[in-house]
Structure 1
Amino acid sequence: MNRFLIVMVLAVSALIFHSSFHGGGQAADFPSNQELGARNVALKMTQFDFASGLKQDANGKPNGNGVELMEAGSFGSGFLVDEEGTIVTNYHVARKSFKGEALFQEGSRFEIRNIKVYDLPNDIAILKISGQKSFPSCVLGDSNTVEPRDKVLAVGNPLGMGLNITEGSVSQVVRNDLKQTERINHTATITSGNSGGALYRGNEVIGINAAVMVNPAYGGSTGFFYAIPINKAKKLLADPQFNRLLSLEQIFPPNVELIVNKAQQLDGVTGQIQPARQKGNEVDPGAWKAGFQSLALTDYGFLVESPSENICMVLLDSQNRTKGFARMKHKQYLPLFVSSNYPEQYSIVLLNFNNKPVNFGLKTYRLVW
């Protein structure tokens, strides 16, 4: 009898050990659905964007107003990290937002008017709920201990449609020379609106879901899902200089005049555009062309100064799709604002409809939010 009990104990122990570490991952002691619903939120952000001269005029053609703003909205995800309502999400979710809302699974909604800090290179933003309430918060783990085959949950609230939970495993951990985790690739499916949501390993958040990886040349999905290591956000949260509240409108002012004040000049060139030529009943404009390489999640301004009132500026992406259009309108300068969501090779084309050559100066700016 004693021998039988010993065998049974050993068998059960082996089964528990196998279940806990099956697949090389940690024990899958994940939070309950109720706990996930209380600690993870949908983010509904009200933003502005640059129309980039592509709004249609009365004739259905691009109006060429390169500095016009338009209101835009986006959904993202986030998770609570303290009882005061501090939310971690992606920078690209909060970018150019002047207000927002945090939507909870049980139906409550809280206004977001403030941001504590953002980290553009790592695509992290830390927002603050405007509300006098004590919130439950997530347990933050150590992303440097993450290993391939760890079991994970990707939690988000895409499009504000409710809690979305997908299961998967860590497929790859990218580390730097100091053995610190730089990126976590995983197989838990995420989609539009999952950006900024938590990646759980067991009861701890070990990553911030960023996006489906894209091919920079074409913008298409590669099928890989990746998360930003939570240690990068923990570093921001622990830094005393970021224990502050800044108005979203202060950081991202929806006002052209204030945006211009945030422009930092990158480059300046001068040149000449050849004259237009008449071809039958049509005019073939003279053209000047230059290349421009953008960075991810970065906004740019271009300014052409010329004595002519009859020139245009067109910005084309690597597939020759028009991303911006500015037309001179009774002024001697030609401005254009554009956004770049991922690294892109652009072409700047200046067109001259005059029958004489035109001199110009072109300045390139980066908008520093």
Structure 2
Amino acid sequence: MQNWRRNLLFVAIAAFVAGLMFSGASLLVQDLSPKADKSKYSASGSAAGVGPDTIANIVDKAGASVVKISTTVTVDVRRQNNPFFSDPFFRQFFGPGLSEPRQRQETGLGSGFIISQDGYIVTNEHVIDGAEQIEVTMKGSDKPSKATVVGSDFDLDLAVIKIDSSEKLPVLKMGDSEQIKVGNWVIAIGNPYGLDHTVTIGVISAKGRPVNIEQRQYKNLLQTDASINPGNSGGPLLNLDGEVVGINTAINAEAQGIGFAIPTSTVKSVLDELIQKGKVVHPWMGVQLQPVTEQIAEYYSLKNTDGALVAGVVKDSPAEKVGLQQGDIILEIDGQKIKSVDNLIDIVGQTKVGQKLKLLVHREKDFYVSIIVNEKPSQLTK
């Protein structure tokens, strides 16, 4: 009897110890297991949880705010194909009207997106440049609305137009292009070749790209491999939160998969000015600049290639009035050392019209000169 009780007690103790061991093991495993970081699984489209319908859901929500922009412009056309038109006898016989300029209407297509419920729309300046008539077509509508230009800027290639609407319009939110990273997914929506609301996807390939197209010198563009074609200009480049991070602007005609967009950091910095003043005021000194190369630095006996070389001075400009000359090298502005031409342009661009700047200039020797910044004349923007 005692042996039976002794055996029962032993089994009970063994079971108790085993229970403690399994319980401890369970606690140990629980403590060492990685805990789910709830911050990684937020509702943000840029988070880790990207599903098969993520793009579709973003496009479905954002697409209503993307519009097609149609423009009409009248151009002069001379009838020069027939050599007889340049013959004085031929013109005298048939009259001068045959050689006079004829006019025809040309149409253009672009994209834009609504930024306010009362009808303000952002697009590229080159989409509406010179247009005599602008029409905006919403998604799902065959009836275009007439639009007027509120403000535009050639240098930045930005424009704001407006349509009247009796209803509140769907809008797109401006995101922060400074936060987007190379490799992040982006979505382009627009009207390439007139194909309404075409959607393409890609990634941010690079940031801060300078691009020269005809007379425009773009700075700080986003580069993407999302397909951008003629007609996409002015449309939004979206992140996975459905926010605008760029305005689709240009493509590299010599390569596939290279498109560019103006970052929203640029757009937001001038948006109020475009709407309230109809233009962007650009500070201006009136100098044409070029980089200081190693050869130039050696010629001027400079220690390095810092600074910006004055390649030309505009007549009647602030620079001419204070005596700046071709060949001068601007080394500092208000104590800030100039590292490059772009550095100088950025510093001047952040000043206000009427502000006085103190320049350190090298000619045969270093000297200081004060200059008052003016507004860039409109005739110099194109």
TM-score, L = length of structure 1: 0.53
1:194 to 1:175, Cα distance in 2 relative to 1, 3 A: closer
What is the aligned partner in structure 2 of residue 199 from structure 1? 237
Q: CA shift at 1:150, angstroms?
A: 1.5
Instruction: Please list, as runs of the form range in 1=range in 2, the aligned pairs for 1:191-270 lying within 5 A after superposition.
Output: 191-202=229-240, 203-214=242-253, 220-221=254-255, 223-239=257-273, 242-243=275-276
What is the aligned partner in structure 1 of residue 224 from structure 2? 186
Separation in 2, partners of 1:204, 1:211: 20
Structure showing greater radius of gyration is 2
What is the aligned partner in structure 2 of residue 318 from structure 1? none
Q: CA shift at 1:124, angstroms?
A: 1.3
Separation in 1, partners of 2:139, 2:267: 24
- After superposition, the C-alpha distances for 1:218-260 in whole angstroms (9 at most, x for unaligned) are xx45652000112222223222x732689xxxxxxxxxxxxxx
Structure 1 residue matching 2:252: 3-state secondary structure: strand
Residue 121 of structure 2 aligns to which amino acid in structure 1? I
What is the aligned partner in structure 2 of residue 78 from structure 1? 112
Q: CA shift at 1:20, angstroms?
A: 5.5
Q: 2:205 aligns with which of 171, 182, 203?
A: 171
Q: CA shift at 1:60, angstroms?
A: 10
- After superposition, the C-alpha distances for 1:125-174 in whole angstroms (9 at most, x for unaligned) are 11111333311111001222232112111111224432111111101101
Structure 2 residue matching 1:140: 3-state secondary structure: coil
1:67 to 1:91, Cα distance in 2 relative to 1, 3 A: farther
**With CA pairs under 8 Å and 6+ residues apart, which has the higher RCO, 1 or 2?**
1
Q: 1:49 aligns with which of 71, 75, 91?
A: 75
Structure 1 unaligned regions, length at least 5: 23-27, 215-219, 247-365
Q: CA shift at 1:207, angstroms?
A: 0.5
Tell me, yes or no, if structure 1 residue 118 matches structure 2 residue 152: yes
Q: 1:135 aligns with which of 169, 176, 187?
A: 169
Q: 2:188 aligns with which of 144, 154, 164?
A: 154
Q: 2:58 aligns with which of 19, 24, 32?
A: 32
Structure 1 residue matching 2:63: 3-state secondary structure: helix
Structure 2 unaligned regions, length at least 5: 1-25, 49-53, 87-96, 211-218, 280-378
Residue 115 of structure 1 aligns to which amino acid in structure 2? V
Q: CA shift at 1:112, angstroms?
A: 2.7
1:6 to 1:37, Cα distance in 2 relative to 1, 3 A: farther
8 Å CA contact retained: 2:225, 2:257: no
8 Å CA contact retained: 1:90, 1:124: yes
The structure with more helix, counted as a fraction of residues = 2
1:20 to 1:104, Cα distance in 2 relative to 1, 3 A: closer
1:4 to 1:16, Cα distance in 2 relative to 1, 3 A: farther
Separation in 1, partners of 2:85, 2:143: 39
- After superposition, the C-alpha distances for 1:29-71 in whole angstroms (9 at most, x for unaligned) are 88533322211011111123343x366459799x996865421
Residue 174 of structure 2 aligns to which amino acid in structure 1? L
1:21 to 1:64, Cα distance in 2 relative to 1, 3 A: farther
1:14 to 1:156, Cα distance in 2 relative to 1, 3 A: same
1:16 to 1:245, Cα distance in 2 relative to 1, 3 A: closer
Percent of residue pairs identical:
25
Q: C-alpha root-mean-square deviation of aligned residues, in Å?
A: 4.0
The structure with more strand, counted as a fraction of residues = 1
TM-score, L = length of structure 2: 0.51
1:86 to 1:108, Cα distance in 2 relative to 1, 3 A: farther
1:3 to 1:172, Cα distance in 2 relative to 1, 3 A: same
Q: CA shift at 1:118, angstroms?
A: 1.0
Q: CA shift at 1:189, angstroms?
A: 0.7
